[in-house]
Amino acid sequence: MASCVSANASRASRRRAWPWPSATGNGRSWRASVWVGSGKVVPYRAEAIVAFPSDWAGERLLGRELLRGAVQAPRVWRPQGNWQRWYRVVFEQILPVHVLRCSGLVFINFFSDQILDPMIQGLVRRCPFRDRVVLEWVERPAGARRLARAGGVFQGLREEGFSLAIDDVGAGADGLGRWALVQADFVKASGHLLHRARADVGARAVLRSLGHAIRDEGHARYIVEWVERWDDWWLAQECGADAWQGFLSRKRPVSAGGCE
């Protein structure tokens, strides 16, 4: 599944971030690398988010989440400059090619500290693909004031044309708090919560209650993460999810949404 830039590739071709199809060949989830100069290559991956149909055969691609790292994000989150470089690569190299070649929305993660960074904010505000980009607010401990400031920035960006997603609801203390600060277009249930719900009646009730709350709110769409098995797929649908994300998406084709 991984892609690597050839040592003898031309400089022009190495500057482009080309998605590499997954091992199943469906072109929906992949791992790839982008050349950033001075012999450096940045690995990343794109995970499919699939909309639920009334039946399995009618599934369609909602979008993909761009993630740093070939398998998982680097454990060292600091210094902030590393993340500034990552977002520059995303917005200046990966995103233009992705939008050109692939259908669906593009979900991009941000912690509160990252969206409050003036340099990263500038990259986001200069993005010309606002109707295709979903800014995903990710769980990370932060004080109430920083959360409120970040919420103000996210809400402002939504008013400028971006969509918003609240990630990791059910994973920690601030998921519902972040949702209360903005008008979200997507709410994503934590994969930890889904996996607990496999055998825990209480966790399953929380998943269902979250679905009810989203429907009552009337605007956001409900996504369940870490769908890895058939019983996860059925459980997410039973709990009212509109879409799902996880390893299972690499095993099945969908009706639309590949890359050229």
More confident residue, 143 or 209: 209
More confident residue, 225 or 256: 225
Give domain status of residue 28, yes or no. no
pLDDT at 2 over 50: no
156-164 contacts at long range (C-beta below 8 A, 24 or more positions apart): 157/115, 157/124, 157/125, 158/182, 158/183, 158/185, 160/125, 160/130, 161/130, 161/131, 162/124, 162/127, 162/130, 162/133, 162/134, 162/135, 163/105, 163/133, 163/134, 163/135, 164/134, 164/135, 164/136, 164/137
Q: What is the CATH number of the domain that holds 151?
A: 3.20.20.450
Q: Which residues contact 68 (CB under 8 A, 6 or more apart)?
A: 42, 43, 44, 74, 86
Give domain status of residue 237, yes or no. yes
Q: What is the pLDDT of residues 33-43, one digit of tens each?
A: 777 666 677 78
- Give the range of the structural domain holding residue 94, as residue numbers without chain letter: 48-250
Q: Are 44 and 70 in contact (CB under 8 A)?
A: yes
pLDDT at 220 over 50: yes
What pLDDT is stored for residue 139 in this prediction?
78
pLDDT at 13 over 50: no
Strands (E), the chain: 30-37, 40-51, 60-68, 105-110, 133-137, 163-169, 186-189, 221-224, 243-245
Q: What is the pLDDT of residues 97-137, one digit of tens each?
A: 888 888 899 999 999 999 999 999 999 999 999 999 999 99
- How many separate domains does the chain show? 1
pLDDT at 200 over 70: yes
Give domain status of residue 26, yes or no. no
Q: What is the mean pLDDT of the chain?
A: 81
Q: Which of 13-17, 131-135, 241-245 has the lowest mean pLDDT?
A: 13-17
Give domain status of residue 12, yes or no. no
pLDDT at 28 over 80: no
CB atoms within 10 A of CB 86: 21
Q: What is the pLDDT of residues 51-61, one digit of tens each?
A: 998 555 667 88
